[in-house]
Structure 1
Amino acid sequence: MQTFMPYPEFKKSAKCLDFRRLGKQRVEAMQVHRIVSGKRTEGGWINHPAVRMWWGYQDALAAYHNAMLYEWIYRGYINNMPKIPHAVDYVMPEFIGNKKFHDSHKSNLLNKDFDYYKKFGWSVERDMPYYWPVQ
């Protein structure tokens, strides 16, 4: 369970993801959104930090999800997932722009597929744990 954000911008994050991660982000963002919007109230992942960090930011998460869909479609893949409606003006979570947060995502992406992600020239430690911006 993860919403990968190597960059503060959703579109830029979507553009850099390899197709495996990009495809999964569509699904995982939708699953997290169902939880934080109250559509799903029990079962797995509800207390996962990747879910908890989005509480109160449903519109921002919807925008993230839609950015993943737009990039998926732009690359020519068939999309069978709906876009999530959201407010035009929405509050961004405080973790957006947090260097430790974004660097932890870069590090973990490098570990998942170094050959793909090395082209971005990220200078981060290769063994950083995920940074979860939750209490």
Structure 2
Amino acid sequence: MQTFLPYPDFVSSVKALDYRRLGKQRVEAMQLVNSTNKLAANPSAKVGWANHPARTMWRGYLPALKLYHNVCIQEWIDRGYNNTMKYYDLPDDIQMPDWIGDDRVHASHRSNLLRKDPSY
């Protein structure tokens, strides 16, 4: 489970992903949103990934995570792939995580992408 943000903006980040990673990002973002919603509704619920680093990095930024999910879906569609996932409704004002723009974070994500696929 990981959300990949090799760049400080969502559009550039998802455009940089290959088919396989982009497809997984849509699903993983949705799973993170679902687990966050489940915990919000029932804080004592047993939820997968409750303490996973990907969930921790998005804690407090659910609308931004939903935006990331929507951007992944749009890129998926723009590439001509069939999409069966729904877009999330978003508020007008979205607070972005404070780590957006921190080059250490983005460099780490680029490094992870290279580790998974040296041709990246």
TM-score, with structure 1 as normaliser: 0.81
1:42 maps to which residue?
46
Q: Secondary structure at the match of 2:25?
A: helix
Aligned-residue identity in percent: 53
Counterpart of 2:103? 99
Residue of structure 2 in register with 1:129 after alignment = none
Q: Distance in 2 between matches of 1:14 and 1:88?
A: 22
Inter-CA distance 56–109: structure 2 relative to 1 (3 Å threshold): same
Q: Distance in 2 between matches of 1:10 and 1:39?
A: 28
Within 2, Cα distance between the matches of 1:28 and 1:106? 18
Q: RMSD of aligned C-alpha atoms?
A: 1.3
Unmatched runs of 5 consecutive residues or more in structure 2: none
Q: Which has the higher contact order (CA 8 A, sep 6+)?
A: 2
When normalised by structure 2's length, the TM-score is 0.91
Q: Distance in 2 between matches of 1:16 and 1:53?
A: 21
* Distance (whole Å) between structure 2 residues aligned to residue 4 and residue 96 of structure 1: 12
Asked if structure 2 preserves the Cα contact closer than 8 Å seen for 1:3 and 1:50, the reply is yes
Contact 1:23–1:72, Cα closer than 8 Å, also in 2: yes
For structure 1, the 5+ residue unaligned runs are: 118-135
Residue in structure 2 matched with residue 84 of structure 1 by the alignment: 88
* Structure having the larger proportion of residues in helix: 2
